């Protein structure tokens, strides 16, 4: 046995896959999860997909007594607890701040008492806001943004203030953050708080910035989860995927199996201490293209509906530069988008999905967050 690892949020989509990856590698895994209704349903219990050898604790990361119990005898911690949803974070501000920010602060306070050998915290591509761009002359341009006036005029693509077109480029970890939502702010707070306290107390700490993870066990009834799960939920219910803007937004979709492996490598690589790493596939694809691909593997002849609307907090293009992650962690993605989507489709076809996209759309539109 290599040691005992605690995963906060370990019954969730990514956490459960990290648990399986670590158990296969010889670790003992303890999972702490509150099983929130939006992800796990009205009468949640231990998820059937959670590895049978994982020790499960039901509890909230904001409860110090629960944290003391969960941290007893632990050698390393993965802090994956977070409410996720760019749009939802813009109106459930207090709840997102409570879980993501305050929950992290309480965990770090308890780690002063329960010292561990390593802390790995899950961050997000959302901290970048817009990804890196280059000017027509090839110069990096980090501060690309679109005004409300541009968005209302459906001018989707980025330009410099003097009108020159900007072209997207792979985004490195060194890019200055640009926080476009409360969710993004909370994720940046999580990663920086962990790195800061880790340095102060001598706890080796690593932050991993996940790009668009997808795969089995993602909640299909949570309309604020990953876009492939949302598309899958609609397709399974015979409805067209809904796409904002013009569908040409560029993203990186990474298999959850690769994400889990990157998380294990972040724990095991000694030289990873006090650093931040992108975790993606290294390939970019448009949102429209990925909607067509998923419909095809599911055997659904449903074209996406491109609305021409935008959501407050959404960004245009962002995909990762994987150079640092490959060099320091020794990580290289192994699952292609085609293989990963075929695997996802096999799992989706065995699921019953409640399509709640309309509810999400109403919640955002009623607050002026979809235009």
Reference 279, options 148, 157, 127; nearest CA is: 127
Q: Which of 172-176, 295-299, 341-345 has the highest mean pLDDT?
A: 172-176
Mean pLDDT confidence for 123-139 = 96
Q: What is the pLDDT of residue 314?
A: 85
Contact 322, 278 (CB under 8 A): yes
| Most distant pair of Cα atoms in the chain: their distance | 60
Mean pLDDT confidence for 167-195 = 96
What's the CA gap between 349 and 353, in Å, rounded?
10
Please state, for a pLDDT cut of 70, what percent of the chain lies above it.
Answer: 93
Polymer length in residues for the chain = 371
The residues, ordered by sequence, that sit 6+ positions from 69 with a Cβ below 8 Å of its Cβ are: 57, 59
SS3 271: helix
Q: What is the pLDDT of residue 121?
A: 98
Q: What is the pLDDT of residue 67?
A: 98
Q: 44-48, 112-116, 191-195, 356-360: which range is least confident on average? A: 356-360
Give the pLDDT band of residue 224 (cuts 50, 70, 90): low
pLDDT at residue 366 greater than cutoff 80: no
CATH of domain 4-132+170-309+318-365: 3.40.50.720
316's tokens? 């245009």
Q: What is the pLDDT of residue 97?
A: 97
Chain-centroid distance of CA 341 in Å reads 17
Q: What is the pLDDT of residue 220?
A: 73
Query: What confidence tens digit (pLDDT) does each residue in 49-81 have?
Result: 999 999 999 999 999 999 999 999 999 999 999
Q: What is the pLDDT of residue 99?
A: 97
Reference 121, options 142, 107, 136; nearest CA is: 107
Contact 31, 11 (CB under 8 A): yes
Q: For the packed helices 13-24 and 256-268, what is the interaxial angle rounded to 10 degrees?
A: 60
Torsion of CA 226, 232, 238, 241, to 10 degrees: 50
Rounded to 5°, angle at Cα 26 from 21 and 31: 60
Q: What is the pLDDT of residue 362?
A: 61
Task: Name the more confident of 359 and 103.
Answer: 103
Mean pLDDT confidence for 151-170 = 94
Mean pLDDT confidence for 273-284 = 97
Give the pLDDT band of residue 349 (cuts 50, 70, 90): confident
Q: Would you list the domain boundaries of the chain?
A: 4-132+170-309+318-365
Task: Name the more confident of 276 and 357.
Answer: 276
Contact 228, 253 (CB under 8 A): yes
Mean pLDDT confidence for 120-145 = 95
pLDDT at residue 303 greater than cutoff 60: yes
Strands 285-286 and 250-251: antiparallel
Q: What is the pLDDT of residue 353?
A: 60
**Helix residue ranges, H only, 133-181:** 148-152
Query: What confidence tens digit (pLDDT) does each residue in 253-269 have?
Result: 999 999 999 999 999 99
269's tokens? 């690589």
Average pLDDT, the chain: 92
225's tokens? 């989860």
**Positions marked catalytic:** 183
Give the pLDDT band of residue 358 (cuts 50, 70, 90): low
pLDDT at residue 360 greater than cutoff 60: no
């Amino acid at each position: 046995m290599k040691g005992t690892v605690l995963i906060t949020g370990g019954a969730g989509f990514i956490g459960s896959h990290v648990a399986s990856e670590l158990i296969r590698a010889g670790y003992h895994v303890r999972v702490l999860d509150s099983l929130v209704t939006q992800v796990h349903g009205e009468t949640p219990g231990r998820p059937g997909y959670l590895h049978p050898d994982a020790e499960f604790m039901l509890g909230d990361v904001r409860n110090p007594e629960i944290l003391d119990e969960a941290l007893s005898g632990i050698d390393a911690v993965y802090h994956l607890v977070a409410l996720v949803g760019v749009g939802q974070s813009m109106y459930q501000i207090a709840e997102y701040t409570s879980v993501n920010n305050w929950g992290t602060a309480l965990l770090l306070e308890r780690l002063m008492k329960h010292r561990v050998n390593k802390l790995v915290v899950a961050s997000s591509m959302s901290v970048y806001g817009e990804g890196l761009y280059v000017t027509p002359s090839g110069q990096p341009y980090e501060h690309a943004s679109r005004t409300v006036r541009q968005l209302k005029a459906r001018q989707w693509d980025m330009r410099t203030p003097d009108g020159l077109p900007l072209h997207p480029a792979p985004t490195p970890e060194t890019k200055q953050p640009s926080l476009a939502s409360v969710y993004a702010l909370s994720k940046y707070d999580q990663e920086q708080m962990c790195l800061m306290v880790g340095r102060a107390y001598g706890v080796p700490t690593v932050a991993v910035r996940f790009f668009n993870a997808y795969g089995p066990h993602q909640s299909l009834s949570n309309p604020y989860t990953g876009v492939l799960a949302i598309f899958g939920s609609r397709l399974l219910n015979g409805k067209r995927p809904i796409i904002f803007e013009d569908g040409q937004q560029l993203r990186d979709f990474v298999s959850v199996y690769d994400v889990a492996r990157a998380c294990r490598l972040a724990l095991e690589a000694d030289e990873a201490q006090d650093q931040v790493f992108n975790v993606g596939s290294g390939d970019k694809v448009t949102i429209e293209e990925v909607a067509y691909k998923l419909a095809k593997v599911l055997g659904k002849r449903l074209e996406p509906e491109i609305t021409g609307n935008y959501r407050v907090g959404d960004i245009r293009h962002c995909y990762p530069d994987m150079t640092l992650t490959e060099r320091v962690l020794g990580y290289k993605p192994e699952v292609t988008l085609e293989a990963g989507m075929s695997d996802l489709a096999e799992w989706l076809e065995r699921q019953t999905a409640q399509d709640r996209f309309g509810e999400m759309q109403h919640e955002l539109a009623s607050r002026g967050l979809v235009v």
